[in-house]
A and B are shown apart, each in its own frame.
Chain A
Amino acid sequence: MSSTPKQIHLAAHFPGVNNTTVWSDPAAGSQIDFSSFVHLAQTAERAKFDFLFLAEGLRLREQGGRIHDLDVVGRPDTFTVLAALAGVTDRLGLAGTINSTFNEPYEVARQFASLDHLSAGRAAWNVVTSWDEFTGQNFRRGGYLAREDRYERARQFLAAVRELLDSWQGDEIVADRADGTFLRAPGPGRFDHRVDQFDIGGHFNVPRSPQGHPVVFQAGDSEQGREFAASAADAIFTRHGTLEAGKAFYADVKGRLAKYGRTPEQLLILPGVTFVLGDTEADARERADVIRHQQVSGATAITFVERLWNRDLSAYDPDGPLPEVEPRYDDSAEPIVRGRADANRDDRRETVARWRAVAEEKKLSLRELVIELTGRQSFIGTPSHVAQELDAFVQADASDGFILAPHLTPGGIDEFADTVVPLLQERGVFRTEYEGETLRDHLGLAHPGRPAAAGRTKAAS
């Protein structure tokens, strides 16, 4: 008898802004109404997913000096939605992106501790950073953080939050009515955190929450991001194009843990992936093609290329070739797109050269090229094919599971929950019932301050 197969972790990303969310589909609903969030969360919980994940936005994207108007825009506040969802779900983990640049540790620590109390131990934090003055224009703090300092602030921010959360041990509240002792000792929550980014001290005012610390996620593939995740995160969001790239990333990041005194089980690797299901393979491929064309209209393709070229290309035909004109490589030039992380910022020349080569080789129009090059890791096929692929991906140590990014709000994971999940359960690689109460239990992560979660069979790898 072989050992238990490695168990897959699954999460649902709420389809938010940007062109990956298809709004023109007749089945597309509101990305704001709470009923949409309830639908996605309750579907994810019915399917026994580990958690639901929300992204965050702090400034509306601009293109050519005007608010971008082609994609889904507008979303609610992350913390507030997660707290409300805690009221309509029982077990589902509730993960939110919260920026460490435009917040302060005391407030974020009390928000996460509160969310963890209010959800009985289901809170998770995706720590992100910003450096740009553009986003800073909405905040007291402004935009003065140097780009190279962002991970340093994130590291110190996270350390400060953890110190605050640890300032209550969990046994302070006695609440003995008879003798009038509410607290075991005076002044709980004492902290003193003096580092170069933060000079704070006093008393934290939220008692220790069920998970002790929220589960901490980190997103990003950069060298700094990998080190940050290896040193401090419980899980890392990533995107990688192929099984081979996934395996390489997995090995690299897990290999960094030992130097921080951590074991491979202490950091989960969860790529964000898309999926398209169909009755047949051909049907699924056709649906995927339709979806990609809905996501990348001609106008969207032009704006995407403008981002890389950093110049106005509105006169070009999206169904024609890539512009002959050279991009503006001058980094001092005002970017044409603002408010969106530019993944190609550091190697734009290389990227442009590669794009030209691919377009030429495959004879692709501008729009076709954008469709071809901007797709994420995608699982396309019949439910049984997708189930088998996901399983193979995880068993090959290309990931520990997936964050599913559906293209439709709010029904984007309905079909997956109804068809793929039962197949994963049949394969013995996904839970049929929640075995624990907290998100840390679902993910097999230790609770800080108490021993590793019991009752969860960890991956045999």
Chain B
Amino acid sequence: MSRSTTPLHLAVALDGAGWHPAAWREPEARPADLFTASYWAELAAEAERGLLDLVTIEDSLGLQSALPTGPDERTDQVRGRLDAVLTAARIAPLTRHIGLLPVAVVTHTEPFHLSKAVATLDYVSGGRAGVQVRVSARADEAAHFGRRSLPRLPVTELDSPAGRALLAELFGEAADYVEVVRRLWDSWEDDAEIRDVATGRFIDRDKLHYIDFEGPHFSVKGPSITPRPPQGQPVVAALAHRTEPFRLVAGSADLGFTTPHDTGQATAIVTEIREAQEQAGRAGETVHVFADLVALLDEEPGRAAERRARLDARLDAPYAGDALVFAGTSAELADLLEEFARSGLTGFRLRPATLPYDLARISRDLVPELQRRRAFREAYQADTLRGLLGLPRPANRYAPA
């Protein structure tokens, strides 16, 4: 009714039984199925039913914990996770339209491996792959790899000189990592495979390129062993709460997930990312900035708040994560999203507080509400995730113009 200008983009973040730590105790929760493929396939199918742009799948290189510095001793919350890249690959052939963005930790892993894994996710999904890169600053996760030690630094110390130095190091490394991954995606030109029977050549080796990356944390020669994926460059995303990750989004990513709690914060975040984008020489490129919201939805007024209270009662303190927690009806959430969008945000990533319940409310209630307002698509109109997000297929940096 109101706006018909720029439709919103809508993503859903999948994690365990939902983002509320007590979600697994809800009547519709399926805590015994969290490690089965069918659970994840059904969630992705539900999100696809709602015509969403993409789902992200959380991951980490350690047990979930209520403590920021290491494992907790809790027995009342979901612990344990499957590898998100493999989960995304497992459900890719069972979906047709929705983008699939697993979280991948870049601090202890190999950019060469991740590059070919995400390229392969793009092949098996027919051009719907992306990745949400994540930095790990936790000492306990570093000890799982034993190759470097990270200081045990509480979150409250991240603004100290030591904290800032650590963030600068880890996010600098993440930027290098993304650069390597992107160069590897481009290391084969699109038409490098020639199968030229006359000359006996399978490839034109002049269309394969060494990436020759050298940095303080690693050097990578290339080329990739996997040819350039269908999207050319799968979508790179990152979650960002402060300046260093804002710079990573602005300089390296296609999509940033941010956590404003009001429109003022949203405006400030978008402004900071756009400025950093200009400094990075990417002013002309589309970089989406989404806001993350934890969502509890019920059509009966007041019911979502009751549900939130019931869930919170099972914790020792009310749930408050990094993102704003919304509890209300889909019409109220649609109002909020439209208000937030005026801050320059290009879309939203909703974190269902409980799964599969709140996901179904998003796909079956919120989406129709947004469609009534002409703020969301009526059908999938692109074959690739880049297409859904309005991102062009990029030229290959190594190919002659």
| Interface flag for B320 (CB, 8 Å) | no
Band of interface residues on A: 35 or more
A80 with B124: CB separation less than 8 A: yes
CB within 8 Å of A: which B65-84 residues:
71-83
B204 with A69: CB separation less than 8 A: yes
A76 with B203: CB separation less than 8 A: no
B145 with A106: CB separation less than 8 A: yes
Majority-rule SS of A interface residues:
loop
B81 with A73: CB separation less than 8 A: no
B89 with A84: CB separation less than 8 A: yes
B202 with A182: CB separation less than 8 A: no
Contacts of B203 in A (CB 8 A): 67, 69, 73-74
Could you give, for residues 24-52 of chain A, a 1 whenever the CB lies within 8 Å of some chain B CB and a 0 otherwise? Answer: 10000000111000100000000000000
Contact of A114 among B62, B74, B86, B195 (CB under 8 A): B86
Could you give, for residues 200-216 of chain A, a 1 whenever the CB lies within 8 Å of some chain B CB and a 0 otherwise? Answer: 11111111010000000
| Interface flag for B120 (CB, 8 Å) | yes
Contact of A140 among B71, B78, B110 (CB under 8 A): B110
Q: Which residue of A lies closest to B314 (CB)?
A: A180
| Interface flag for B29 (CB, 8 Å) | yes
Contacts of A259 in B (CB 8 A): none
| Interface flag for A459 (CB, 8 Å) | no
Q: How many residues of B contact A (CB 8 A)?
A: 82
The complex places the Cα of A137 from the Cα of B61 at a distance, in Å, of 25
B220 with A139: CB separation less than 8 A: yes
Contact of B202 among A38, A59, A73, A113 (CB under 8 A): A73
CB within 8 Å of B: which A65-80 residues:
66-77, 79-80
A76 with B116: CB separation less than 8 A: yes
Contacts of B60 in A (CB 8 A): 205
CB within 8 Å of B: which A284-303 residues:
297, 299-300
Number of A-B residue pairs with CB-CB distance less than 8 Å in the complex they form: 236
Contacts of B202 in A (CB 8 A): 23, 69-73
| Interface flag for B121 (CB, 8 Å) | yes
B120 with A81: CB separation less than 8 A: yes
A87 with B144: CB separation less than 8 A: no
| Interface flag for A282 (CB, 8 Å) | no
B110 with A139: CB separation less than 8 A: yes
| Interface flag for A177 (CB, 8 Å) | yes
The complex places the Cα of A232 from the Cα of B193 at a distance, in Å, of 40
CB within 8 Å of A: which B138-190 residues:
140-141, 143-147, 188
Question: What distance in Å separates the Cβ of A300 from its nearest Cβ neighbour in chain B?
Answer: 8
| Interface flag for A364 (CB, 8 Å) | no
A175 with B121: CB separation less than 8 A: no
Q: Which residue of A lies closest to B124 (CB)?
A: A84
A177 with B29: CB separation less than 8 A: yes
Contacts of A189 in B (CB 8 A): 63, 80
Q: Which residue of A lies closest to B225 (CB)?
A: A57
B226 with A118: CB separation less than 8 A: no
A24 with B120: CB separation less than 8 A: no
| Interface flag for A313 (CB, 8 Å) | no
Contacts of A70 in B (CB 8 A): 200-202
Contacts of A137 in B (CB 8 A): 219-221
| Interface flag for A110 (CB, 8 Å) | yes
CB within 8 Å of B: which A175-220 residues:
175, 177, 180-189, 198-207, 209
A200 with B37: CB separation less than 8 A: no
Contacts of A297 in B (CB 8 A): 200
The complex places the Cα of A66 from the Cα of B201 at a distance, in Å, of 13
Contacts of B301 in A (CB 8 A): none
Question: What distance in Å separates the Cβ of B55 from its nearest Cβ neighbour in chain A?
Answer: 15
Question: What distance in Å separates the Cβ of B14 from its nearest Cβ neighbour in chain A?
Answer: 15
A87 with B90: CB separation less than 8 A: yes
Chain B CB count within 10 A is highest, among A58, A60, A79, A204, for: A60
Contacts of A68 in B (CB 8 A): 205
| Interface flag for B87 (CB, 8 Å) | yes
The complex places the Cα of A59 from the Cα of B208 at a distance, in Å, of 12
B93 with A88: CB separation less than 8 A: yes
Q: Which residue of A lies closest to B70 (CB)?
A: A202
In the complex where A76-B123, A102-B110, A202-B62 touch, is A83 in contact with B77 (Cβ < 8 A)? no
A138 with B61: CB separation less than 8 A: no
A114 with B82: CB separation less than 8 A: yes
Question: What distance in Å separates the Cβ of B387 from its nearest Cβ neighbour in chain A?
Answer: 19
Contact of A175 among B32, B141, B188 (CB under 8 A): B32
A299 with B145: CB separation less than 8 A: no
Contact of A79 among B86, B123, B143, B144 (CB under 8 A): B86
Contact of B79 among A33, A57, A140, A188 (CB under 8 A): A188
| Interface flag for A305 (CB, 8 Å) | no
| Interface flag for A352 (CB, 8 Å) | no
Q: Which residue of A lies closest to B41 (CB)?
A: A87
CB within 8 Å of A: which B285-332 residues:
314
Question: What distance in Å separates the Cβ of A214 from its nearest Cβ neighbour in chain B?
Answer: 13
B61 with A205: CB separation less than 8 A: yes
| Interface flag for A173 (CB, 8 Å) | yes
CB within 8 Å of A: which B44-61 residues:
60-61
The complex places the Cα of A84 from the Cα of B27 at a distance, in Å, of 31
Contacts of B78 in A (CB 8 A): 182
| Interface flag for B389 (CB, 8 Å) | no
A104 with B147: CB separation less than 8 A: yes
In the complex where A205-B61, A299-B200 touch, is A80 in contact with B208 (Cβ < 8 A)? no
Could you give, for residues 294-318 of chain A, a 1 whenever the CB lies within 8 Å of some chain B CB and a 0 otherwise? Answer: 0001011000000000000000000
Contacts of A88 in B (CB 8 A): 93
| Interface flag for B223 (CB, 8 Å) | yes
In the complex where A104-B108, A200-B144 touch, is A77 in contact with B63 (Cβ < 8 A)? no
The complex places the Cα of A68 from the Cα of B87 at a distance, in Å, of 34
| Interface flag for B31 (CB, 8 Å) | yes
The complex places the Cα of A300 from the Cα of B200 at a distance, in Å, of 9
Across the A-B interface, the 4 shortest Cβ-Cβ residue pairs: A83-B89, A114-B83, A186-B73, A80-B120
**Sample (26) of A-B pairs whose CB atoms are under 8 Å apart:** A23-B195, A32-B123, A58-B225, A70-B201, A74-B226, A79-B89, A80-B124, A83-B85, A83-B86, A102-B110, A103-B110, A104-B147, A106-B61, A106-B144, A106-B145, A107-B109, A114-B87, A139-B218, A173-B32, A175-B31, A177-B26, A180-B25, A180-B76, A189-B80, A200-B146, A202-B141
Kindly list 19 other residue pairs between chains A and B, CB separation below 8 angstroms, not including A203-B140, A206-B83: A34-B93, A59-B225, A66-B205, A68-B205, A76-B119, A104-B108, A106-B144, A107-B61, A107-B145, A113-B82, A175-B32, A181-B76, A183-B79, A187-B73, A188-B79, A201-B146, A203-B144, A205-B80, A206-B35
Interface residues of A (CB under 8 A from B): 23-24, 32-34, 38, 57-60, 66-77, 79-81, 83-84, 86-88, 102-104, 106-107, 110-111, 113-115, 117-120, 137-141, 168, 173, 175, 177, 180-189, 198-207, 209, 297, 299-300
